[in-house]
Amino acid sequence: MSSPTAAAEASRRRTFAVIAHPDAGKSTLTEALALHAHIISEAGATHGKAGRKATVSDWMDMEKDRGISIASSALQFEYAPENHEGEPYMINLVDTPGHADFSEDTYRVLTAVDAAVMLIDAAKGLEPQTLKLFRVCKARGLPIITVINKWDRVGREPLELVDEIVTEIGLQPTPLYWPVGEAGDFRGLAKVGEEGETEEYVHFTRTAGGSTIAPEEFYTPDEALEREGDAWETAAEEAELLAADGALHDQELFENCETSPLIFASAMLNFGVHQILDTLCALAPSPRGRAADPKALAVATSAMDEKREPSDDFSGVVFKVQAGMDRNHRDTLAFMRVVSGEFDRGMQVTHAQSGRSFSTKYALTVFGRTRSTVEAAYPGDIVGLVNAGSLAPGDTIFDGRKVQFPPMPQFAPEHFRTLRAKSLGKYKQFRKALEQLDSEGVVQILRNEARGDAAPVMAAVGPMQFEVMQARMEVEYNVETVADPIPYTVARRTDAETAPKLARQRGVEIFTRTDGELIALFGDKWRLQFIQKENPDFTLESLVAD
């Protein structure tokens, strides 16, 4: 049944992820945005990693100890720009892992959002992880707002950074707020008009440690010139130069991922932060319809929706499963993005993959470690479903006519280690922990008869995933483990016909993944290439993201 309420609520939702290379300031920006929305009174980051408090979105001990995000965190809050009429916007902000070892978690998050904020370090420019994540956004059609962060520190020339973005990734930045003062001397922002002219000067005043909202003063261009002199003149000239080169905002080009609104900021000092929020509200797309999985449609035995629009019956997709977020409650949270319709706590829904009924009695919004019960949610919202043990990343739940959305992409692991409990007396807890963390996708678990269940193989994109696996087993299940490397670096998917033949090859071992897929591990890429050349009929498929 069509829901006008769901459509109206969807129109005021803005659901986005923050993506960047490690240490670009993602978690600091997340808190700064929450501070400007007045849902926290003081930011949790201070100057320098040594004195850094843990941000509210970092809940895992390893995150607090190392000052990096290694698990995505979903925050929701209302925000109303100045002079905004009507109801405030509902912001669903997903802070993603920064470390490259956790890119699989980040990729899953990008299936659950409608836009992305790409954070770039003013001194370092585009970095490898930023480039990789940009390509994923581009492939998924996610519009990108670019933020040059850390402008309060010594860095590169602004025009040089713009040129690098154009050259390296073919994305044209369109300045909305241009910096007044060079990197390291951040005085304020020049607001850029539709034709590239500087309309207004926003001057910022520092606060102690950047822990509170930075006061702003507004000046006309003439007043700005009198106040800032050459710094304002340079900013105006650079903005006009870019405008003359065609770097002007066009909504259609932005939504097609051809251009990117550009803002300069310092998340640490809270400079330019509410300008980022205002831009997201004004330009980022609201939730839209989502197409069903073509493979599911092809094998459907009964009627199935080909697409779900925001106003249609309720549907949602699980993009992450996480346990251990609350030590007082040994529960599991399945993070679901509402795709269509109205979600009401307690409603009975259907799990598309199994066809079973599923109860939603315990539903939460999550802010770091803080939880609150959610009674209703709408397209674009992120909801945590408690003790949803039957749900896995990529699963669909729905009400009314059946729909099933595309599965989550799998990734090619490059690191492999066996895992075993230090104490044989902990085997039962070991098995339970392994089952839970495997279902979350912390690592992929591979098994075969030769190694047995007591020492399965962990397969990961990056080695830090093994550290997370072991740390969580110890903290959450009181199981100390030993991880030993094994001599493999390449994985390929195979089939039942090829597997026995491969098993007879030197330097190859066959495993079964938890989802039933047969996985062949090879010592190195040269061994794989030799076997492929000698046996062209073997089934060996790459394990890469769709």
Residues in the chain: 546
CATH for 520:
3.30.70.3280
pLDDT at 97: 63
**Residue 105 labeled ligand binder:** no
430 and 303 share one domain: no
Confirm whether residue 36 is marked as ligand binding: no
The string of pLDDT tens digits covering residues 138-147 is 888 999 999 9
The helix (H) or strand (E) run that includes residue 439 is helix 427-440
Q: Which range marks the domain in which residue 226 is found?
A: 9-283
Q: Which residues pair with 332 in a beta bridge?
A: 323
Is residue 96 part of an annotated ligand binding site? yes
Most confident of 203-212, 295-304, 319-328, 339-348: 339-348
Categorize the per-residue pLDDT at 69 as very low, low, confident or very high, splitting at 50, 70 and 90: very low
Question: Residue 207, annotated ligand binder?
Answer: no
Specify the DSSP element, H or E, that contains 499. helix 499-503
- What CATH number should be reported for the domain holding residue 374? 2.40.30.10
In terms of domains, do 438 and 354 share one? no
CA torsion 343-347-351-352 (nearest 10°) is -60
Per-residue DSSP letter, 370: E
Contact between 150 and 48 under an 8 Å Cβ cutoff? The reply is: no
Q: Is 212 inside any structural domain?
A: yes
Residues 127-166 have pLDDT tens digits of: 887 887 888 888 889 999 999 999 999 999 999 999 999 9
Which of 353, 319, 404 has the alpha carbon at shortest distance from 111? 319
Domain match, 14 and 135 both = yes
pLDDT over 50 (residue 113): yes
Domain boundary among 233, 256, 283: 283
User: Are 391 and 419 members of one domain?
Assistant: no
Question: What is the rounded CA–CA span in Å between residue 243 and residue 246?
Answer: 5
In a domain, 118, yes or no: yes
Q: What is the mean pLDDT of residues 456-481?
A: 86
Closest CA to 379 of 335, 334, 406, 341: 341
For range 85-103, the mean pLDDT? 74
Determine, yes or no, domain membership for 407: no
Same domain, 26 and 68: yes
Instruction: Encode burial over 146-166: b for 16+ CB neighbours within 10 A, e otherwise.
Output: bbbbbbbeebbebeebbeebe
Q: What's the whole-number average pLDDT of the chain? A: 87
Asked, for residue 404, whether it belongs to a domain, the answer is no
Query: According to the model, what pLDDT value does residue 61 have?
Result: 53
Per-residue confidence (pLDDT) for residue 52, from 0 to 100: 41
Structural tokens at position 164: 């690098």
Residues 277 and 299 in one domain: no
Residue 442 and residue 345 share a domain:
no
Q: Is 230 annotated as a binding residue?
A: no
The verdict on 419 and 359 lying in the same domain is no
Residue 179 lies in a domain: yes
Please indicate, yes or no, if residue 1 is contained in any of the structural domains: no
Is residue 2 a part of any domain in this protein? no
Are both 109 and 182 inside the same structural domain?
yes
251, 283, 315: which is the final residue of a domain? 283
> Has residue 340 been placed in a domain?
yes
Q: Say which DSSP state 212 is in.
A: S
Using one digit for the tens of pLDDT, what is the confidence trace for 301-340? 888 999 999 999 999 999 988 765 555 555 678 889 999 9
Q: Is the same domain home to 301 and 275?
A: no
Contact in structure between 200 and 216 (CB atoms under 8 Å): no
Domain boundary among 246, 261, 283: 283
**Overall number of domains in the chain:** 3
Provide the token pair at 392.
């896995």
Q: Are residues 298 and 268 in the same domain?
A: no
Residues 185 and 52 in one domain: yes
